[in-house]
Amino acid sequence: MSDSELEELTSAEIHCDICNDKRWFVVAPEENAPASARTVIPCQCQERVWGVKSADRIRQYSDLGPLERLTFGTVELGTRDTFSEPSSFRDAYHAAQRFVTDMQGWLVLCGPSGTGKTHLAAAVGNALVEADQPVRFVSVPDLLDHLRSAFDPAVGAQYDEIFLQAIEAPVLILDDLGAQSATAWADEKLDQILTHRYNRRLPTLVTTGIPFAELGDRLRTRLGDPYFSTVVNIKAGSGMSDIRESGLEPRLAELMTFKSFTKGATGATASQKRSLSEALAAAKVFAEHPSGWLYLAGPTGVGKTHLAAAIVSESIAQGRDVMFRFVPDLLDDLRRSYGPAGGKSFDHTFSQVRDVEILVLDDFGAEASTAWAEEKLYQLIVHRHDSMMPTVFTSRSALETIGGANNRGESRYSDAIISRLSDANVVAERYLSAPDFRHRGATPRPRSSTRKSSRK
């Protein structure tokens, strides 16, 4: 085979016995030598894998891809406090720059979604690439997905290579630790990677959206070693990050406001227009003075989620603690965190939803009907009913359909749930009746994920 043909092969197709497919050698005077005493040299197989230019090899190896645009030069430092609190973000920024210069120990960036952790991590990666230093950038959920797909005797060599690229990278950036599905297998793989790198003192940068105190004991031991790791907590800012933390997609918050709600839809009858106006008025009253439960019912596309999103935005503007959850997604999150291995995570997730000041449950009734799902919904509904906590439901089913006398025998919910939803002293129902927005010229709902695109 000619050299040109070899160059066309991908990294996974070229096996090297010299470096065992690691592509790099880390040379150190002793096993636990500090990073400053180590020398990283490329293996000769790189010329066949990534071409002959050193810079091209390093950039290909980094796997930064579309994140190449995120550099320290594109960071807006101290100019905006919308997404992150400026002082804490500045601390993270300088810690990231020191990591590039020193390449020693571990740097752990903690903070809510949208506070700039990935931007700083990518900036570190790009700065190292520009300095001709080999670095590997991987998203933890993507890494585990790749390992799962390659975990097969028929493709064992591919699994080994993916795992080695993470475990032996001269500098490794693990982005979004904690966003992966919590399973014993995933925990085992992460523990192997982190323990290997910890024992060999290999420079590593980790970002996580989980508060450091809520990480598992073993992770805290590895990531929080005061003699080896620097942990920086980026605090949420004053604006959009609150929207993100509420569970409502920023795009929804931007488009779905009370002002943009269409209550005079083309083709709607007078009674349909009246139902939209009454629902809008009820939602505004609830947002201004949260009390009791508001149940917004109606068929697909009439604006139930629109009004619920507007309530969330108005509540945040008033400084209230509010959470927006699509019910099927909420139950999926609870299932993933349930069990002995994820007990703490489950308790945290469930208590957040159960105890939040204002809760919005979107598309109630769209969830899979199982005994476990009903049990969790029962616990949630009973607690918030007994405590008189403001709650908003959107549903395609009217209350009389869910628990009416003629339908009780067919209801998917227990009498205990139906009783509380039917409590006229607590629950105010508004039924929205209008043509589907898809057929009346209104702006379609933005869709934030594949799963939510199937919402009705």
CA distance 400 to 420: 13
Does an H or E element contain 23, and which? none
Lowest mean pLDDT among 49-53, 187-191, 377-381: 49-53
Please report the pLDDT score of residue 210 as a whole number. 86
Q: For residue 401, is it left (φ>0), alpha (ψ between -120 and 50) or beta? A: alpha
Is 52's pLDDT higher than 50? Answer: no
pTM of the model: 0.49
Is 373's pLDDT higher than 70? Answer: yes
DSSP state of 442: P
Identity at 280, one-letter amino acid code: L
- pLDDT band of residue 164 (cuts 50, 70, 90) is confident
The pair of structure tokens assigned to 2 is 């000619």
At residue 359, the 3 state secondary structure works out as strand
The pair of structure tokens assigned to 137 is 């950038």
User: Quick check: 286 and 392 in contact, CB under 8 A?
Assistant: yes
Token pair 């390449």: residue: 103
More confident residue, 210 or 77: 210
CB proximity list for 342: less than 8 A, separation 6 or greater: 182, 336
The pair of structure tokens assigned to 214 is 């809520």
At residue 206, the 3 state secondary structure works out as strand
DSSP state of 320: -
Look at residues 318, 320, 243, 301 and name the one whose alpha carbon lies nearest to residue 432.
Answer: 301
- What sign for the dihedral angle of Cα 404, 410, 413, 419? positive
Please report the pLDDT score of residue 362 as a whole number. 93
Is 239's pLDDT higher than 60? Answer: no
Strand partners, 325: 361
Scanning 228-362, the segments in alpha helix (DSSP H) are 240-246, 250-255, 270-288, 304-317, 327-336, 343-355
Please report the pLDDT score of residue 205 as a whole number. 96
User: Quick check: 295 and 399 in contact, CB under 8 A?
Assistant: yes
Strand partners, 173: 137, 205
Please report the pLDDT score of residue 46 as a whole number. 59
- pLDDT band of residue 190 (cuts 50, 70, 90) is confident
More confident residue, 333 or 428: 428
More confident residue, 24 or 212: 212
Please report the pLDDT score of residue 103 as a whole number. 87
Please report the pLDDT score of residue 40 as a whole number. 56
CA distance 425 to 423: 5
